[in-house]
């Protein structure tokens, strides 16, 4: 694993004077690097600042190793939760004073308790989980072949990718790349996507482009936000189809397509 991405969404750092606190923060950490989180102070610097008064000045620490990341809980009284948003309720509880708890999830949401009716949370993405090539699993570990693109076919981002590629796989002809709203509508019938939003789909596309398929900024237009988003979707689809990452059999992962309404006589 070459590293992780830690993301604190805008307004997710707690509540100050009745208003959501904090600008969005994104950190990229490589093996051996760490990020501390908590309320912080001039004498206790933290990389992720969380404003709630129930959170310690130094609440915890994230540390990246070669093949996973670890969470240390510096609180003496509160447990933290690490949720797997892709895992239908799967989570880990990290008890007070626990140091270096290994986290196995590719997507994680770290949740801290507060004295309010809401929690404080931030996200951790571990994009470089490595999967063995199914055709090269024999022999010693040193001789095994790993996949160039390590995608989890059970994850929501793969459903988004399949929906983006669907028109080409079904029609075998050049067509317009599906828009973000069209992807939301296409996946609405899936059990895990009933609450999927356009913003979430955009985040999955960013994750696919920047971390999983590594399309790079050079393949994305800079003519404006709409053009950049369109270019990013086209680049993601191009890589997925050229390298056979999404194939016709993956269309079975998508919900059944609605049949067109019968025309009146």
Domains defined along the chain, listed by start: 4-125 (2.60.200.20), 156-253 (no CATH)
What integer pLDDT is reported at residue 151 of this predicted model? 85
What integer pLDDT is reported at residue 164 of this predicted model? 95
Report the distance separating Cα 130 and Cα 168, nearest Å: 28
What is the model's pTM? 0.64
What pLDDT, in 10s, does the model give residues 58-78?
Answer: 999 999 988 889 999 999 999
What integer pLDDT is reported at residue 220 of this predicted model? 41
Is the pLDDT reported for residue 118 higher than 90?
A: no
Is the pLDDT reported for residue 157 higher than 80?
A: yes
Is the pLDDT reported for residue 190 higher than 60?
A: yes
- What mean pLDDT, rounded, does the chain reach? 81
Question: Considering only CA atoms, which of 85, 55, 53 is closest in space to residue 73?
Answer: 55
Question: Considering only CA atoms, which of 38, 44, 48 is closest in space to residue 4?
Answer: 48
Is the pLDDT reported for residue 14 higher than 70?
A: no
Q: Going edge to edge, which strands form the sheet with 91-94? A: 25-29, 4-8, 120-125, 107-112, 80-83, 91-94
How far is the CA of 216 from the CAs of 106, 124, 150, 246, in angstroms?
Answer: 21, 21, 17, 19
* Contact present, 187 and 255 (Cβ < 8 Å): yes
Q: How confident is the model at residue 222 (pLDDT cuts 50, 70, 90)?
A: very low
Provide the 8-state DSSP code for 212. Answer: I
């Amino acid at each position: 694993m070459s590293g992780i991405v830690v993301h604190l969404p805008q307004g997710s750092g707690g509540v100050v004077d009745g208003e959501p606190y904090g600008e969005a923060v994104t950190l990229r950490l490589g093996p051996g690097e760490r990020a501390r989180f908590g309320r912080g102070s001039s004498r206790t610097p933290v990389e992720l600042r969380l404003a709630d008064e129930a959170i310690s000045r130094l609440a915890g620490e994230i540390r990246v190793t070669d093949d996973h990341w670890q969470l240390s809980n510096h609180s003496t009284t509160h447990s933290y939760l690490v949720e797997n948003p892709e895992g239908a309720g799967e989570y880990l509880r990290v008890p007070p004073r626990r140091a270096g708890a290994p986290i196995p999830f590719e997507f994680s949401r770290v949740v801290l308790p507060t004295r309010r009716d809401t929690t404080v949370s931030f996200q951790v993405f571990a994009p470089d989980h490595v999967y063995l090539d199914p055709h090269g699993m024999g022999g010693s570990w040193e001789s095994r072949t790993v996949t160039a693109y390590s995608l989890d076919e059970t994850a929501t981002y793969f459903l988004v990718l399949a929906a983006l590629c669907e028109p080409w796989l079904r029609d075998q002809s050049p067509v317009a790349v599906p828009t973000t709203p069209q992807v939301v509508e296409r996946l609405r019938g899936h059990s895990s996507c009933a609450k999927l939003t356009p913003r979430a789909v955009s985040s999955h596309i960013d994750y696919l482009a920047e971390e999983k398929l590594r399309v790079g900024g050079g393949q994305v237009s800079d003519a404006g936000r709409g053009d950049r988003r369109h270019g990013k979707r086209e680049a993601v689809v191009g890589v997925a189809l050229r390298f056979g990452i999404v194939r016709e059999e993956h269309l079975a992962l998508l919900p059944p397509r609605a049949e067109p309404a019968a025309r009146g006589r």
